Amino acid sequence: MILVTGATGKVGRHLVAGLLAEGAPVRALTRHPEIAGLPAAAEVVSADPARPDTIAAAVAGTTAVFVNATAAGSVLKDLMTEAARAGTQAEQAQAIGAAIGRQLRVTELPPEVFRTAATAYMPAAAVDDLLRYLAGYVGRTAEMSDDLPALTGRPATTFADWAVGHAASFR
């Protein structure tokens, strides 16, 4: 089961349809399932990023999660702030997996999947430029500034510590 956050958005809607077309089981998260308008084959569930308890139930039994950071909102605020300290996305998945006692992995979607969905909303040349830009960061650890404590008034935490503190949101 693949969980898709932001399932009724510009990217999520196409991702749900594409995954279903490939025969993958999909659980689609939305705040309003009654008006989602998603394919009948999708398991549409109600979840609100402002209420982590609804997210935790939606993750149960999934083998992969597509997180649309914009759709996920405040639940992932700390994640997005601290994620770069964990290194690559694969290392972040390992830290979350360790926190919940489950092995997780990152599976990169082929650029063609993104290109197909994104060109419906952006010029093809812009999509290709974005893909080239992102390709330059594959496998690289993000650079972090030491300014976080000065900006937030609190010390930075490691991603692993963040994952342990938010493990219930991923179970």
Same domain? 66 vs 84: yes
Q: Which two tokens stand for residue 102?
A: 């489950």
**66 vs 147: which has the higher pLDDT:** 66
Tell me how far the alpha carbon of residue 102 is from its chain's centroid.
Answer: 17
Q: What is the percent of the chain where pLDDT is above 70?
A: 74
The pLDDT of residue 85: 46
State the average pLDDT for the chain: 77
Contacts of 97 (CB under 8 A, 6+ apart): 103, 104
| Whether residue 85 sits in one domain with residue 1 | yes
Does the pLDDT of residue 135 top 90, yes or no? no
Amino acid at 84: A
Where do we find the tokens 């999520």? 12
The verdict on 119 and 95 lying in the same domain is no
Determine if residue 122 is left, alpha or beta; phi over 0 gives left, psi from -120 to 50 gives alpha, anything else beta.
Answer: beta
Whether residue 126 sits in one domain with residue 89: no
Mean pLDDT in residue range 92-114 = 81
pLDDT range class, residue 69, cuts 50, 70, 90 = low
| Dihedral class, residue 157 (left if φ above 0, else alpha if ψ from -120 to 50, else beta) | beta
**pLDDT tens for each residue of 4-29:** 888 888 888 999 999 999 899 999 98
Nearest to 32 by CA among 46, 42, 12: 46
Residue 76 scores a pLDDT above 90: no
Give dist(CA 95, CA 164) in Å, integer.
8
Is residue 49 one of the residues assigned to a domain?
A: yes
Band of residue 68 on the pLDDT scale cut at 50, 70, 90: confident
Helix axes 111-118, 10-21, angle to 10 degrees: 130
Residue whose C-alpha is closest to residue 158's, from 144, 139, 138, 169: 144
Cα–Cα distance for residue pair 55/6, rounded to 1 Å: 12
Lowest mean pLDDT, pick from 15-19, 71-75, 116-120:
71-75
What pLDDT is stored for residue 38 in this prediction?
95
Per the structure, the complete domain to which residue 113 belongs is given by 109-140
The span from the CA of 158 to the CA of 156, in Å, is 7
Mean pLDDT over 140-161 rounds to 68
CATH of residue 27's domain is: 3.40.50.720
| Domain shared by 20 and 49, yes or no | yes
Q: What are phi and psi of 4, to 5 degrees?
A: -120, 115
* Residue 108 neighbours by CB distance under 10 Å: 10
Is this prediction's pTM over 0.85? no
Within a domain: 127: yes
